[in-house]
Structure 1
Amino acid sequence: MKPVGPLPPEFVGQSGVLTIAGAPAEQWAADTPVFVYDAGIVAARIRRFRAAFPMVDLHYAIKANPLPALLDTVAPWVDGLDVASGGELERALAVKPGGAISFAGPGKRDAELAAALRNGATLNLESDGEATRALRLADQLGVTPRLAVRVNPDVELRGSGMKMGGRPSPFGVDAAAAAALVRRLIDAGADWRGFHIYAGSQALDAGAIIETQAATLALAARLAEAAGAAPPLVNLGGGFGVPYFAGDRPLDVERVGAGLAEGLATRAAVLREARFAIELGRWLVAEAGVYLTRIVDRKTSQGETFLVTDGGLNHQLAASGNFGTVVRRNYPLALASAIDGPAAETVSVVGPLCTPLDRLGDRVALPEAQPGDLIAVFLAGAYGASASPAAFLGHPAAAEIVVGGA
């Protein structure tokens, strides 16, 4: 038997049948597989952030989950949206004005740059070459470009699941070259919007995040002084993690907020008039999502029991262990009809794809389950449907629905 990750706090202590937004899971599962996103959980996360970071803007990084119905719900609750492609920009513009949108990511095509410039979005520049193209396109369009410099910081977020700084990177301008680029943008007549500094993601260590945010503030001040200009905004990145696996502990967000408040109270004079933002995706929406998939078959092979479901890695690549994890570990998973029921057997939950990689639960302890029962995979609100190979082997796409409310 192998352990599963901890249930999100909103589902801990449920008696018997899994409920989502106050209704039994079966109510949302007329068609499976289906992702169910509880907007009430997202709203509660945003309220918690506001309480812990009253001095900081909140941006939603829509790469975590770009479902239009979810964006419709989240957009009024946040100060800005961060996008990483022309497609995401189009979705963001449907719910927010361009001035509340920032566009990061390497390899932006001219058409994407032009769309951002036309709509007044801020481009987080990743290189000198991208800056040259953005300035040229802005001149052709007759607009004043809103440009920020994404910095490849000389620090990394200790303990992060994905490190974004302290090393050679396709993301951002090296810290040593950032001030010169800022000066160039200002001299060219651009509307310089500040810095975007992102050191890592999926961190659960509050102390490491506090340490990195302090280093980020110091770096922003040093670069601003070298450029001779105060930044209107410093985007501190995000990196807030969620507990996916056995042994993971939730991030102490309130401690992070207190640490940042101390750092901002003593920040350098060049940053005194700056606004600050944190961009979050996973932490806001991951635990609000549940993936429901129905058991199609139950079989035994060489003494091991398999529950074969109608959905798998084609919808939930990360839960199958094929989205960046080095060692495969089990996401939180349960039998929806007996979420807190005693374990009766050890089974492996596998999807319908013709590959041994399609495994949602590896030798997990569950109550006895039969064909027709629902399996619930938790933490499905981020990097699920849009981050998975839905077209692989031609199986149907999963449905996605937003339920509940603030």
Structure 2
Amino acid sequence: MTSRTVLISGAGIAGPTLAYWLGRHGFAPTVVERAAAPRSSGSPVDVRGPAVAVAQRMGVLPDIRRAGTEVTELTFVNAAGRRAGRINIRALRRATGSGEVELPRGDLATILQRVAREHAEFVYGDRITALHQDERGVDVTFEHAAPRRFDLVVGADGLHSAVRALAFGPEREFVEHLGIYVATAPLPGTENPHAVVLHNVPGRLVAVHPSTGGALAFFAFRGPELAGFDPNDTASHKRILTGAFAGGGWRVPELLDRMQAAADLYFDSVSRVNLRPWSRGRVALLGDAASCVSLFGDGSTLAMTGAATLADALAAHPDDHVQAFRRFEAEHRVRVDPKLHGIERASTLLIPATRTGIVTRNLLANLWPLGAAAGWLTRTAARSSRHDYANVEHGYANAGHG
């Protein structure tokens, strides 16, 4: 029997994870990626919760841990650079028993691509320009390569998904701007490898985030949707950022200068994708293309778990893609929907809109690890009351050494 062919658009996080598992399940996946090489910029991301188990099953968890940043705290500073609040990340992780890993997005993508290449074909520097599906397959036209036919197509090509536009409709019908823009740029030079340093003014955030091989400058600001916004126009992005942060204190002038000199700048809106269902005929969406949701790194976790879930569903129904897509969406929406509705709360913590909000957030920062520890103790006590002593002992070990 000939393996079923699946074209995956996007070689970020979701695409390679899906390709790996489809190949393991006996499918013939092909990944097409518009970029000729991985981006070096972009915010660090987290592999947490169920994604840790996915990475472990793929055999890449040791590589992910080796690529992890060494961040142990978040420090909030005022315009003079004096500390106004601190979150002890190490204590927070120990209190929650978390096995999560933070690492640069580019490093995670590289790790996933490396293992997926053993099970899939990768085509870089090309993109899908047209899709025509019928009852038996999908005819795909590429910008450079010759047309090909596939059994299924999956769009894992991000917030501005070309597959979604071709198969579902214009971006404006599904993407909701949430009033925030973010940018990151590489920051060569020596920085504290253990602390993320953040400076807020109302509606604005500038941060320096340590990363492997250097650091990142991070900018975020609140604002209405920009008319005619082009996610690929780097020159306009630099003008927008300069205008938004002009006159700022702390290290803002220096970081703006270094942003202007950066060759690799990431700039985009924080948006929410509202789309039901995630499939149309033989075409499905995955990751940010289907459900862009998070400011705090959950996107990569959801991308990896969603990819594994979709691969499992297709393996369970290899001759019935309709049933497979339905099973995938029913299972994965349980993870995604709470994130879709919690992003506003996350943004109020990261980018308070008022001075009072900034002061309150900074004062509460030191209590967050204590709150997490209290939550862990509450869960432990509940298990103990059910005489589940083995689980309590395991939880204590995780809390002390996670």
TM over 0.5: no
TM-score with structure 1 length normalisation? 0.28
